[in-house]
Amino acid sequence: MSGEFAVAPVEKAARVASLDVLRGIAVLGILMMNITGFAMLPQAYGNPLVEGGSSGANHIVYVIINVLFEGTMRGIFSLLFGASIVLLTGRMEKAGAGIMAAEVHFRRMLWMLLFGIIHWALMLWYGEILFNYAMCGLLLFSMRKLAPRLQIIMAVLMLLAAAAFQTAEYQTVAKKEVAAVEAQAAKASGARLSAVQTKAIEAWKEQIDQNFPNAEKAAKVRGWHSGSWFDAVVGQFETSYKFQWTTAPVWLVFDMIPFMLLGMALLNLGVLGAAASTRTYVLMAVVGYGIGIPLGIYELNLVLDGHFGPAAFAKADRTYQLSRLAMVVGHLGLALLFIRAGLFAPLQRALAATGQMALSNYLAQTIICTALFYGFGFGLYGAFERYQLYYIVAAIWAVELIWSPLWLRHYRFGPFEWLWRSLTYWKLQPMRI
């Protein structure tokens, strides 16, 4: 079979329900992680001493988020993104699309890449991830038909390489600290510093600024949050551009692609489709949490004992990918147990609808938070303590869990999904059911 049917968007009846539920969990969980980036100075994400409070309820929230959820929602999203590549191209190929399957895939990724650029450049979310996901999608098309075992091996090797890279980075940061401390001691004793010693002090000061922004940098960020939309676009552009084009692409190899490969493998093995045995999911939860939680506590204590300094974060990062992988496995095992058992069916239906509209809900979170925290909206940037932000998160979750199923009663796609599909297939898609 060939023609338009072969390359048409997937019908609701053909969707994999467990993937939609997992996608719903992930898109809601992403806001739980991103909210500090919307509402506070960027460094406050990992360092509560910068802004938002570091004691009492604020400390408890910081501990829970960092031990149980840091990097995991991104990990689940990456798994699902990899799985979606296999699902969509496989469905088209089985329908006889032939080379059109590749054309549609690459067109889809290129539109996503453009959406990502608009998201960070004009919609003002510097932590946006669509841009880099699209680049991953362009690369991973050729790996979608590898044997699941090979995909898993490749993913593990990449994560081990990431751990090696982060270990080397810790050694570099530790050497910088030692050199700076020695130079500072020499300066305190009245000795004349060499050019190397002066450079060592400056290099360490720049390193510290990444965790503790100086007053000038903090004022600059607050400034573009307090003015007009145009002021914000211009003000944040350099920072966002540097992150999206310089820092984030490193994640393609060390952070995103390994999990996308795992998603491809777990889909083909039936795990993500809730088709594996109950024992498999119990084992995933027990082993994942059994490794991930102790490692997360270990990493947290390193950061706390190091007073949120650069060397402490770098030291904790050595095991970050392993603890993140373990927690993702644990979360998946637990979630799929609930999905498989059909527990909390109304909530699962709401989560599935939220996941079916993941792109619209992801962008809606940005629109809502921008309106709340920027000066051209309500101007609430820096106005909340860390724990208070999660009341806002809960409110947005409630809105998305309610509006998603209501929208899908009347329409085939979320609004941004409809736009994406229409552009991908070069044809306006039917919207109303």
pLDDT mean values, one per 10 residues, the chain (433 residues): 46 72 97 97 95 96 97 96 95 89 95 96 94 94 96 96 95 96 92 92 92 92 94 93 84 88 96 94 98 98 96 96 97 96 93 97 98 97 97 98 97 96 94 91
Structure tokens at 238: 């350099």
- Give the span between the Cα atoms of 299 and 312, in whole angstroms: 9
For 65, which DSSP code?
A: I
Cβ contact 109:134 at 8 Å:
yes
Per-residue pLDDT at 360: 98
- Give the span between the Cα atoms of 30 and 53, in whole angstroms: 21
- Give the span between the Cα atoms of 65 and 179, in whole angstroms: 34
- Give the span between the Cα atoms of 112 and 84, in whole angstroms: 14
Residue 363's Cβ-side half-sphere holds a number of Cα atoms within 13 Å equal to: 19
426: left (phi over 0), alpha (psi -120 to 50) or beta: left
Cβ contact 18:274 at 8 Å:
yes
Q: Print burial letters for 369-397: b (CB count within 10 Å at least 16), e (below 16).
A: bbebbbbebeebbbebbbbebbebbeebb
Task: Enter the pTM of the model.
Answer: 0.93
β-partners of residue 432 are 411
- Give the contacts of 93 (CB within 8 A, at least 6 positions apart): 101
Cβ contact 119:125 at 8 Å:
yes
DSSP H helices in 40-98: 57-64, 72-94
Residue 143, CA distances (Å) to 69, 110, 153, 262, 329 in order: 28, 18, 13, 11, 22
Which contacts qualify for 233-241: CB closer than 8 Å, 24 or more apart? 233/121, 233/122, 233/124, 236/124, 236/126, 237/121, 239/126, 240/120, 240/121, 240/126, 241/121
β-partners of residue 411 are 432
Per-residue pLDDT at 97: 84
Per-residue pLDDT at 64: 97
